[in-house]
């Protein structure tokens, strides 16, 4: 995470890490739940990685930004779904779309370990996240006065799909966990008890239980 002004690079990672540590400490004092803190730590590291890839580096001033300011910001904006330019969807473009899915897939999977989700919520979150990332990039481009990122509705769509796919994988994980580990909470360690609590939450609890029971018949 760097912001560049001329030849000076300003690292933001130490500050972001400090804020994250404070959040972890606050949550630990509030919840006293080490498995929750563990999953929050993993999710936080993922978020920092994702933010770094989506928004950074940012060049405020320098040769690159000066040259890019000769371009119109809207020249790097696409509002048309499934439009991939005059040459169509190339192999490189396809890889980038897959990257957009993989970028947000951990979000759809990991968020379930921190808060209760259901299909309606995850769809709303996926749309908000997908559009939010592109809108934030557009706003940054306007603030910087040059198109520092390509703003593409296709990126938003595939980011949203990645969240939904991650949620689907979590549902599969929950069903398999109940099938393999079982629903008996006796003689389980703290982490296993937390996992049992997570997979029994209101994210299709009845369907997951039926899956586990039918698989044992």
Run means of pLDDT, 10 residues per run, the chain, 217 residues: 89 93 89 86 96 94 91 92 87 91 97 90 96 96 93 97 96 85 64 82 50 47
104's tokens: 């947000």
Q: Which of 53, 50, 169 is nearest to 113 (CA)?
A: 169
Domain of 149? Answer: 2-216
Model pLDDT, residue 177 = 83
Model pLDDT, residue 187 = 55
DSSP E strands in 122-210: the ranges are: 151-152
State the chain's maximal CA–CA distance in angstroms.
Answer: 68
Q: Which of 154, 149, 153, 125 is nearest to 138 (CA)?
A: 149
Model pLDDT, residue 20 = 93
Structural domain count, the chain: 1
State the DSSP code for 149.
Answer: S
Q: How far apart are CA 142 and CA 73, in angstroms?
A: 7
Model pLDDT, residue 217 = 43
Q: In sequence order, what are the beta bridge partners of 58?
A: 3
Alpha helices, H only, the chain = 13-31, 34-55, 63-68, 91-110, 119-144, 153-180, 190-199, 205-216
Q: How far apart are CA 212 and CA 130, in angstroms?
A: 33
Chain centroid offset of residue 151 CA: 17
Model pLDDT, residue 212 = 47
């Amino acid at each position: 995470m760097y912001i560049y002004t001329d030849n000076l690079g300003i690292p933001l990672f130490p500050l972001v890490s400090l804020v994250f540590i404070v959040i972890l400490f606050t949550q630990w004092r509030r919840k006293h739940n080490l498995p929750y803190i563990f999953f929050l730590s993993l999710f936080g590291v993922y978020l920092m990685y994702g933010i770094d890839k989506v928004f950074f580096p940012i060049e405020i001033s320098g040769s690159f930004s000066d040259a890019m300011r000769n371009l119109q910001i809207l020249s790097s904006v696409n509002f048309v779904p499934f439009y991939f330019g005059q040459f169509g969807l190339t192999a490189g473009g396809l890889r980038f779309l897959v990257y957009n899915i993989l970028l947000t897939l951990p979000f759809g999977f990991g968020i379930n370990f921190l808060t209760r989700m259901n299909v309606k919520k995850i769809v709303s979150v996926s749309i908000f996240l997908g559009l939010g990332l592109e809108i934030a990039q557009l706003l940054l481009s306007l603030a910087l006065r040059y198109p520092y990122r390509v703003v593409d509705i296709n990126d938003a769509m595939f980011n949203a799909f990645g969240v939904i796919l991650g949620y689907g994988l979590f549902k599969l994980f929950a069903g398999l966990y109940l099938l393999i580990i079982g629903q008996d909470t006796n003689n389980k360690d703290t982490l296993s008890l937390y996992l049992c609590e997570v997979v029994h939450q209101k994210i299709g609890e009845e369907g997951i239980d039926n899956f586990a029971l039918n698989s044992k018949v």
